[in-house]
Amino acid sequence: MAVSVLEIFKIGVGPSSSHTLGPWEAATRFRNSIIYPNLTRKAGAVIVDLYGSLAHTGKGHGTDFAILMGLSGYHAASIEQSLLSNILSGYKGLNEIIIEGTHLQFSVDTHINLWKGQHLPFHSNGMVFKLLNTEGHLIQEETYYSVGGGFVQSKEEIRHASSVLDTSIISSAKSITDAHRASGKSLIEIILEHESQFHTYEEIKIQLLEIYGVMLSCAHDGCHTLGILPGGLFVERRAKLKHDKLLPGSSYTNAREWLKEIRSRPYNFRQTIDWVSCFAISVNEQNAAFGKVVTAPTNGAAGVIPAILLYIQTLLEVDTTEEDIVHFLLIAGLVGQMYKHGATISAAAGGCQAEIGVSSSMAAAGLVGTLGGTLEQVFMAAEIAMEHHLGLTCDPVNGLVQIPCIERNSIGAMKAITAAQLAMDSDPMKAKVSLDQVIKSMWETAQDMNEKYRETSLGGLAINVTLPEC
Same domain, 152 and 41: yes
Count of domains in the chain? 2
pLDDT tens-digit readout, 356-378 = 999 999 999 999 999 999 999 99
Give residue 395's Cα distance to chain centre. Answer: 17
227 has a pLDDT exceeding 60 = yes
CA end-to-end span of the chain, whole Å? 38
Burial class (CB in 10 A: 0-12, 13-18, 19+), 199: middle
Residue 470: predicted pLDDT: 42
Same domain, 149 and 298: no
Of residues 442 and 3, more confidence is placed in 442
The last residue of one of the domains, among 161, 191, 215, is 161
Same domain, 156 and 177: no
Least confident of 214-228, 272-286, 449-463: 449-463
Amino acid identity of residue 97, one-letter, is I
Nearest to 450 by CA among 398, 390, 389, 394: 394
Residues 67, 152 contacting (CB under 8 angstroms)? no
Residues 300, 15 contacting (CB under 8 angstroms)? yes
Strands 43-51 and 112-115: parallel
6 found inside a domain: no
The last residue of one of the domains, among 161, 192, 210, is 161
Residues 404, 348 contacting (CB under 8 angstroms)? no
The last residue of one of the domains, among 127, 161, 195, is 161
**3-state SS class at 391:** coil
* Banded model confidence at residue 40, pLDDT cuts 50, 70, 90: confident
pLDDT tens-digit readout, 243-283 = 999 999 999 999 999 999 999 999 999 999 999 999 999 99
Please list, in sequence order, all residues whose beta carbon lies within 8 angstroms of the beta carbon of residue 208, skipping any fewer than 6 positions away.
5, 6, 9, 325, 326, 329, 330
Of residues 275 and 318, more confidence is placed in 275
Mean pLDDT of the chain: 93
Residue 456: predicted pLDDT: 87
297/173 Cα distance (integer angstroms): 18
For residue 102, what are the domain limits? Answer: 18-161
